[in-house]
Amino acid sequence: MPMIEIDKLTKRYGEFVALAEFSLEVGKGEFVSLLGPSGSGKTTLLNLIAGMTRPSSGRIVIDGVDVTDLPASKRDLGMVFQNYALMPHMTVFENIAFPLRVRRVPNAEIKRRVGEVLDLIRMPHVAERRPRELSGGQQQRISLARCIVYRPSLILMDEPLGALDKKLREEMQIEISRLHRESGITMLYVTHDQEEALTMSDRIVLMREGRCAQVGTADELYFNPVSPYVADFIGHSNQLTCTILREEGGNVVVGLAGGDRRAVPRPAFPVPVGGKAILLVRPESASLAARADDHHSLRGTLEASLVVGSNIKHVVRLDSGETFLVQELNHRLRARPAIGSAVWVGWSAEASQLLSAS
């Protein structure tokens, strides 16, 4: 049985549809991220699951129980927000103990369980401190501990690391992943940071305007995006408009602006001859040459070569006017074409992919 079943959930604010017939299943113990740009409906979905807002239509089932009409307090789940929401006048111990006191857990057991979670977050020495005596990262660990302590079946997190600087964020990402693994609690995590979603999640739900653009593992979203939107959102991508010319074995041959022809693995969607599609090539799958050859046949002008340590990123303006990125390893001895010179880009058929233009 899944931990969360969301069935055709819709939320309207007047005429505006913040979430549109959204369906999703989350398995027990899974870590799922909701990723998407600002306004795509991530927080709306989280608040609906938490019971803080009511849906316009649709159904939410948590651990086999239809909670659509249950108030937030009757749903067995924990929430972690960006602003920690710790109680400033209480010690760390009392903050973590609070959900247990509300549930009338006996004192001796409270002491034991708070001690356990302080060990779990590796902060056994801060029990008597007040939240203001802790750093942002430490406070966020305490709010996580306060959730874990009453062992909810599900924890919802809304940009919990949004207020922390980059280094601390990365440490906390590892920390949250560890807590997820060790506690086995199902976690649903809202972020607009793709790196965060890609590194932490079992699966990612990429949202767009209140709908699901794609759901899958980090690899599925990166290597098999279903649309130009997904390809563009996850990592860098070159997207060239092309025309379907013919089928050839397992490939289709497409024509690019400027007359170049390329073979691409046949996609799952229909590709009528003469129709338009988008050819996707990731920058690290492409290479650059100073002369045309069998492999490098698409011509352009080198606009910039940006060295980032072990990597080099070439920005090429194709003769068609489109920009094309090539990312290669930065070899110590290899001569680089001069900026402003003519260059040719290429890639192997298997490294490219067709996306539906519509």
Ligand X SMILES: Nc1ncnc2c1ncn2[C@@H]1O[C@H](COP(=O)(O)OP(=O)(O)OP(=O)(O)O)[C@@H](O)[C@H]1O
Whichever of 13 and 269 has its CB closer to ligand X, that residue is 13
Q: What is the smallest separation between the CB atom of 195 and ligand X, expressed in angstroms?
A: 16
Say how far apart CA 204 and CA 194 lie, in whole Å.
9
Site membership for ligand X, residue 58 (CB under 6 A):
no
Name the one range near ligand X by CB under 6 A: 39-47, 61-69, 105-113, 331-339. 39-47
Q: What is the smallest separation between the CB atom of 83 and ligand X, expressed in angstroms?
A: 13
Structure-block tokens of residue 80: 């972690």
**Token pair 């010319």: residue:** 245
149 vs 51, 98, 146, 184, 229, CA distance in Å? Answer: 21, 10, 5, 13, 40
270-273-278 Cα angle (round to 5): 65
274-312 b/e (C-beta count within 10 Å ≥ 16 → b) = eeebbbbbbbbbbbbeeeeeeebbbbbebeebeeeeeeb
230 within 8 A of 236, measured Cβ to Cβ: no
Site membership for ligand X, residue 73 (CB under 6 A):
no
Site membership for ligand X, residue 83 (CB under 6 A):
no
Query: Which helix or strand (DSSP H or E) is residue 174 part of?
Result: helix 166-183
One-letter amino acid for residue 44 of the chain: T
Q: What is the smallest separation between the CB atom of 39 and ligand X, expressed in angstroms?
A: 4
Site membership for ligand X, residue 44 (CB under 6 A):
yes
Exactly one of 21, 30, 43, 224 binds ligand X (CB under 6 A); that residue is 43
Say how far apart CA 204 and CA 35 lie, in whole Å.
7
Site membership for ligand X, residue 10 (CB under 6 A):
no
Site membership for ligand X, residue 302 (CB under 6 A):
no
Exactly one of 9, 33, 35, 41 binds ligand X (CB under 6 A); that residue is 41
Q: What is the smallest separation between the CB atom of 298 and ligand X, expressed in angstroms?
A: 37
Q: What is the smallest separation between the CB atom of 210 and ligand X, expressed in angstroms?
A: 7
Q: What is the smallest separation between the CB atom of 43 and ligand X, expressed in angstroms?
A: 3
Q: What is the smallest separation between the CB atom of 36 and ligand X, expressed in angstroms?
A: 5
**Token pair 């369980």: residue:** 113
The residue among 231, 332, 328, 342 whose CA lies nearest residue 286 is 328
Binding to ligand X by CB under 6 A, coded x per residue (else -) over 169-198, reads -----------------------x------
Bridge pairing between strands 57-62 and 65-66: antiparallel
Whichever of 41 and 337 has its CB closer to ligand X, that residue is 41
Per CB under 6 A, contacts with ligand X among 189-248 are 192
Exactly one of 1, 15, 38, 184 binds ligand X (CB under 6 A); that residue is 38
Residues that bind ligand X (CB under 6 A): 13, 16, 18, 36, 38-44, 192
